[in-house]
A and B are shown apart, each in its own frame.
Chain A
């Protein structure tokens, strides 16, 4: 039987919600509305001549040959970033969970990358992998790899994927570790007594019980890869070479901030908004069914 709690007061709930609602309105609905409004206008950079053009900006976006290519590229990029940020994080969390002494120090060390701004993370990786001065680039060359992200598109892509994923590993690690620590030890002990080896215990008990965390991190990770990575790309490759690392969100940034094409940029961000909403709904419809909330 479910018990419902009833609040007789009409105004109080709204008052309590007000700060959160204000934040959402100011930081989400207002800019979102602005983007929608600007996506149907065409204007010069200074806003001295503004004209209503209906859906023309959207037609231009979809007619742009680069846009469709950027869409597929973004899917590839986001999938790779999310995966590369989650798998090592889970591995490290499982290891950290077994540490008895010095666990706090280890955990703290693992978290530091998350405190680094995306652009700074990008620059760090750029230095390490810079073909002229980078340490890792030098090693790669010593191994006989022709490493050249300034001209080779897939080298550049891997560079921005690694730089974007690296930062997110820390965040995922923290959540996985918390998730692991909330799994009842008695379950694992019971399984061990029944003769389940560590691998089997992981796949039959730990992994399913972690699934709410995994699902949450999947959603957050994809949104991160879709929206938050333009700082890294801007610092490392500026979308090049030959548009090999130009993702949808970087294109929005470039067209809006650098090229001052506000209508086109707004139309792209509206499309991107719709895409991420759709992606999240899909995830909740299909992936969440397999999630086991304990």
Chain B
């Protein structure tokens, strides 16, 4: 039983004894804490930790009660939230992955920018507190943040040091370029150190979005869609991308690369020891640490040395927290949302989150706190995503993209690349088809969003 805060000092003994349960109960029922619903798309370690953060927040105050619940993977959760919004009762906060951002940004009236949420609640909020790549990705042109970055990640290369030793490769010298990775993978195959040399999760995220940023090449017009809704994809005749896909197609033949499926599925191929190298979200570290029965190392996403200026910075992945609007939502509820978000971005929460999961700290101060206590020095490899995301060179195409219906376009890319890997079409065709089909989706999005 929670009592309203003005009675707090009286709470335990005096009030209950003097008034008795019969009188205290109705008073408490009137002033029950306001419930704040948060939906997340994480399972496992990350999901458990985020749920605990909700409980921790509830212990710090009596006015609000946060309920964190898992509603399926990001796409399912998004569908559920959309249905709930249409029914007039969306969750207060929704965690949405990077690719869904373009859609969310157009959902005017459905979301309230987090900068606005903090302002209304009278809480200090400076977007500059967040790390620059996240700020750029989730921000508005005026600098305000639309959503609050929470689990920030980027692509890294995990490699199996035991397999490297077995193949006669130096386990302390991970490949830095694609030619080096190809050589290592071929050697792993020819010495049979592993059944497959290299595989990747999230094909579109890694091979299109991250790869393009690493080489500072555009894959769409208007600054990769950031300039407006009428932007289009530009993939056909992109020689750097085409060579990369051709490389994968060639490597697939002798299993120096082995395609491991869409989304996260390929991680299992690395953890089981089948593949010796894996490109994966840095947030995948937890699962690898738990599951891998071999020594592994972390390195940055490889690049092609003949591309001018490369390597450039990779971009962010992961997810951010969006605040929903609804007709019946009170100002008090928005204040509760702001307070909980404020709790989540505190150094204490952010550092625990980043240390446990392998995601990056989303705020500069949390990052500094981790540096000051020597976390990165004590945990070799954990600075790799930061070096790749923050310290590497920036170009005009390293700020991420912003396209609507992007989850769908990612799947179009998957389909077309799978066809190329099957040998049913050339990589050039795969890029051309992705561009054509993707642009049709972008035009449809432009119509409904406009």
Residues of A within 8 A of B (CB): 42-49, 51, 130, 132-133, 150-153, 238, 240-243, 254, 257-261
Does B98 reach chain A (CB closer than 8 Å)? no
- B388 to nearest A CB, angstroms? 28
Report how far A151 CA is from B422 CA in the complex, Å.
7
Candidate in A130, A240, A241, A254 with the most chain B CB atoms within 10 angstroms: A241
**Residues of A with C-beta under 8 A to B272:** 132-133
Is B424 touching A45 in the complex (CB atoms < 8 A)? Answer: no
| Surface stretch bound by A, among B174-182, B258-266, B345-353 | B258-266
Partner of B79, one of A151, A153, A260: A260
- A31 to nearest B CB, angstroms? 14
Is A48 touching B79 in the complex (CB atoms < 8 A)? Answer: no
Report how far A274 CA is from B59 CA in the complex, Å.
56
- B294 to nearest A CB, angstroms? 15
**Residues of A with C-beta under 8 A to B416:** 242
- B30 to nearest A CB, angstroms? 34
Partner of B76, one of A51, A152, A257: A257
Is A44 touching B107 in the complex (CB atoms < 8 A)? Answer: yes
Chain B, range 236-285, C-beta contacts under 8 Å to A:
252, 259-263, 265, 268-269, 272, 274
Is B449 touching A49 in the complex (CB atoms < 8 A)? Answer: yes
Report how far A43 CA is from B103 CA in the complex, Å.
13
**Residues of B with C-beta under 8 A to A254:** 411
Does B89 reach chain A (CB closer than 8 Å)? no
Q: Using a Cβ cutoff of 8 Å, how many contacts connect chains A and B?
A: 83
Is A260 touching B78 in the complex (CB atoms < 8 A)? Answer: yes
Is B422 touching A49 in the complex (CB atoms < 8 A)? Answer: no
Report how far A62 CA is from B122 CA in the complex, Å.
53
- A41 to nearest B CB, angstroms? 10
Report how far A242 CA is from B103 CA in the complex, Å.
25
Is B408 touching A259 in the complex (CB atoms < 8 A)? Answer: yes
Report how far A65 CA is from B265 CA in the complex, Å.
28
Does B308 reach chain A (CB closer than 8 Å)? no
Closest to B409 in A: A259
Assess A240 versus B268: contact at CB under 8 Å? Given A45-B107, A260-B78: no
Is B407 touching A259 in the complex (CB atoms < 8 A)? Answer: yes
- A13 to nearest B CB, angstroms? 37
Is B418 touching A45 in the complex (CB atoms < 8 A)? Answer: no
Is A48 touching B109 in the complex (CB atoms < 8 A)? Answer: yes
Is B422 touching A47 in the complex (CB atoms < 8 A)? Answer: no
Is A151 touching B421 in the complex (CB atoms < 8 A)? Answer: yes
- B62 to nearest A CB, angstroms? 34
Is A45 touching B421 in the complex (CB atoms < 8 A)? Answer: no
Chain B contact surface mostly = helix
Does B12 reach chain A (CB closer than 8 Å)? no
Assess A150 versus B261: contact at CB under 8 Å? Given A132-B269, A243-B415: yes
Report how far A42 CA is from B443 CA in the complex, Å.
13
Residues of B within 8 A of A (CB): 75-76, 78-79, 82, 85-86, 103, 106-110, 252, 259-263, 265, 268-269, 272, 274, 405, 407-408, 411, 414-416, 418-419, 421-422, 424, 444, 447-450
Closest to A45 in B: B82
Closest to B272 in A: A132
Assess A240 versus B259: contact at CB under 8 Å? Given A45-B107, A259-B407: no
Closest to B430 in A: A242
**Residues of B with C-beta under 8 A to A259:** 405, 407-408
Report how far A257 CA is from B75 CA in the complex, Å.
8
Assess A150 versus B85: contact at CB under 8 Å? Given A240-B415, A241-B422: no
- B421 to nearest A CB, angstroms? 6
**Residues of B with C-beta under 8 A to A238:** 262-263
Is A152 touching B86 in the complex (CB atoms < 8 A)? Answer: no
- A159 to nearest B CB, angstroms? 13
Is A42 touching B82 in the complex (CB atoms < 8 A)? Answer: no
Is B448 touching A46 in the complex (CB atoms < 8 A)? Answer: no
Closest to B445 in A: A44
Report how far A43 CA is from B419 CA in the complex, Å.
31
Assess A240 versus B262: contact at CB under 8 Å? Given A43-B448, A46-B86, A133-B268: yes
Is A132 touching B268 in the complex (CB atoms < 8 A)? Answer: yes
Report how far A45 CA is from B103 CA in the complex, Å.
8
Is A49 touching B448 in the complex (CB atoms < 8 A)? Answer: yes
Report how far A150 CA is from B261 CA in the complex, Å.
6
Partner of B419, one of A45, A49, A242: A242
Partner of B107, one of A42, A46, A151, A258: A46
Pairs of residues from A and B, 5 with the lowest C-beta to C-beta distance, nearest first: A242-B418, A242-B419, A241-B418, A44-B448, A259-B408
Is A240 touching B414 in the complex (CB atoms < 8 A)? Answer: yes
**Residues of A with C-beta under 8 A to B269:** 132
Is B82 touching A240 in the complex (CB atoms < 8 A)? Answer: no
Closest to A44 in B: B448
